Structure 1
């Protein structure tokens, strides 16, 4: 497969993705924000627990 063919295929795939994609509505956007916030809180809590355990083990 030549560079031109692979580039043409890539452009066709990009056009297809743009055609089927849509802007999220308010409810979908709100759900995304909630899931992202929960993920951030979980990662922060795990990091906090790791730091606390690390400090307790250094006593």
Structure 2
């Protein structure tokens, strides 16, 4: 294999790796978005439960 063929082969390998990396980054960004949405849902649930507990505590104090 001469130098030109070697360079072409290496470029091809790098392009394939770049595509693979970009696809992995896309998937990771998608997963992060899903996790952020789950986090927002858990935060809302926690706020709701906290309000219920505080309301219950106030009722007990009366």
Alignment match, 1:25:
2
Matched, 1:36 2:13: yes
Unaligned runs of 5+ in 2: 37-62
Give the structure-1-normalised TM-score.
0.58
Unaligned runs of 5+ in 1: 1-23
More helix by share: 2
Paired positions, count: 36
Rg: which structure is higher?
A: 2
Alignment match, 1:49:
26
- What RMSD in Å do the two structures reach over aligned CA positions? 0.6
Separation of aligned partners in 2, 1:37 and 1:46: 14
